[in-house]
């Protein structure tokens, strides 16, 4: 029994240590997002910045939900452990009670003069000592077992109080989670309302297009700064024109090139395409190379960039989760991120670009025909 409790305690310690490390990482991420949010508040005239601010708040709430879930898992593990300990303690108390009953039955059968009888009815000195040891053992056992019961009951009462405290803590965490989920729903609706407003008003739409153009130029500058002289074992996309596998299975909802808005009589230049996922959100690298950038860019959301051989780059935007970090090598078809709605005006989608010597190319001419 003691061995089982020690093993259980060790397992709980390992879980606690693992959760503490995850909590430290989550708290660091929350502080990082808080700093970004404060910086974004300095520019109040930018539509993209407003969207960025909402997405930062959304990501912060998601991270906080992860933190609460970790705490809930930890509390549940404590509750489960205490329930198992409680069950084992009840068994020990029952066993002690049974032992006391057996001792009392023996002493009852001996009667009031039982001790005297044990000493009178003896035939030898050896029997005298045996009878004496029997009486002492019975008395000691009774005292020890009663003491054990008292200790067990006190421990059980303490354990039940600890269990109740953990249950109350878990209930509080569940209430926190419900509040955060409500906040998350509100933030997502705010973003949808903002996008609907942009689509209704010409001046906001024009401002957004100007900001997107500026961000496109910023993207080119970032690529220029991040590009390395060469990447070992990278795939040259040049010979693969028209034969590249799709980075995401889905439908193209925004194509490459100059487009006219019939509603506002304005023009936009798309340097890539947007794909709405169908069966899976997994984003795969279209060729082997090295990740050179993973971060948020206004207008593009979470972007991961891969450098290939032959001065080729591929960009994957609107990501939900990055599965690779800068400096990591990726192979053709390897999952590098998941599709999301960060920076997107279309909901969940993948923004995909192919560039050679920083010049955008039409991805549909390079991807295999469907």
Taking alpha carbons only, the member of 355, 125, 35 closest to residue 219 is 355
Q: Are 355 and 315 a contacting pair, CB within 8 Å?
A: yes
> At 40, is the pLDDT very low, low, confident or very high (cuts 50, 70, 90)?
low
SS3 at position 261: strand
> At 128, is the pLDDT very low, low, confident or very high (cuts 50, 70, 90)?
very low
Q: Are 250 and 275 a contacting pair, CB within 8 Å?
A: yes
Helix (H) or strand (E) holding 132: helix 125-200
SS3 at position 230: coil
Q: What is the pLDDT of residue 6?
A: 47
List pLDDT tens digits, range 227-285: 877 787 889 999 999 999 999 999 999 889 877 655 545 566 789 999 999 989 999 99
Percent of the residues in the chain that have a pLDDT greater than 70, as a whole number: 73
Q: Whole-angstrom Cα distance, residue 141 to residue 100? A: 8
Q: Whole-angstrom Cα distance, residue 110 to residue 135? A: 10
| Domains along the sequence of the chain with CATH | 2-199 (1.10.287), 230-365 (2.70.70.10)
Q: What is the pLDDT of residue 346?
A: 81
Q: Whole-angstrom Cα distance, residue 365 to residue 210? A: 27
Q: How many CB atoms lie within 10 A of CB 62?
A: 15
SS3 at position 341: coil
| Tokens representing residue 197 in the block | 């407003």
> At 21, is the pLDDT very low, low, confident or very high (cuts 50, 70, 90)?
confident
Weakest-pLDDT range from 53-62, 129-138, 214-223, 230-239: 129-138
> At 48, is the pLDDT very low, low, confident or very high (cuts 50, 70, 90)?
confident
For the residues 306-325, what does the mean pLDDT come to?
Answer: 94
Rounded alpha-carbon distances, angstroms, from residue 258 to 132, 241, 269, 273, 318: 107, 22, 4, 12, 21
For the residues 204-217, what does the mean pLDDT come to?
Answer: 74
For the residues 315-326, what does the mean pLDDT come to?
Answer: 94
Q: What is the pLDDT of residue 359?
A: 93
SS3 at position 281: coil
């Amino acid at each position: 029994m003691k061995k089982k409790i020690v093993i259980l305690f060790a397992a709980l310690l390992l879980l606690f240590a693992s959760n503490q490390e995850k909590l430290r990482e989550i708290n660091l991420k929350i502080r990082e997002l808080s700093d970004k949010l404060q910086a974004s508040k300095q520019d109040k005239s930018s539509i993209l910045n407003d969207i960025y601010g909402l997405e930062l708040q959304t990501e912060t709430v998601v991270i906080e939900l992860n933190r609460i879930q970790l705490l809930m898992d930890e509390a549940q593990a404590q509750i489960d452990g205490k329930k198992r300990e409680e069950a084992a303690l009840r068994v020990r108390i029952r066993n002690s009670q049974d032992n006391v009953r057996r001792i009392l039955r023996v002493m009852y059968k001996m009667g009031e003069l039982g001790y005297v009888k044990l000493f009178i009815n003896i035939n030898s000195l050896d029997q005298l000592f045996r009878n004496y040891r029997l009486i002492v053992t019975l008395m000691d056992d009774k005292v020890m077992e009663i003491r054990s019961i008292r200790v067990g009951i006190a421990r059980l009462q303490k354990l039940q109080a600890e269990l109740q405290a953990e249950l109350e803590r878990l209930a509080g965490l569940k209430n926190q989670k419900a509040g955060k989920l409500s906040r998350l729903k509100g933030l997502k609706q705010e973003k949808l309302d903002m996008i609907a407003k942009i689509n209704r008003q010409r001046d906001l739409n024009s401002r957004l297009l100007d900001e997107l153009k500026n961000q496109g130029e910023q993207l080119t500058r970032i690529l220029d700064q991040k590009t390395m002289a060469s990447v070992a074992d990278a795939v040259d996309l040049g010979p693969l024109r028209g034969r590249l596998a799709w980075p995401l299975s889905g439908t193209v909802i925004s194509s490459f090139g100059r487009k006219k808005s019939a509603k506002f009589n304005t023009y936009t230049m798309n340097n890539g395409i947007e794909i709405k996922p169908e069966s899976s959100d997994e984003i795969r690298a279209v060729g082997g190379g090295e990740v050179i950038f993973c971060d948020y860019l206004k207008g593009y959301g979470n972007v991961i960039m891969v450098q290939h051989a032959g001065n080729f780059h591929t960009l994957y935007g609107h990501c939900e989760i990055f599965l690779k970090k800068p400096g990591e090598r990726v192979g053709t078809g390897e999952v590098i991120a998941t599709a999301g709605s960060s920076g997107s005006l279309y909901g969940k989608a993948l923004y995909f670009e192919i560039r050679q010597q920083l010049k955008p190319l039409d991805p549909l001419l390079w991807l295999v025909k469907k």
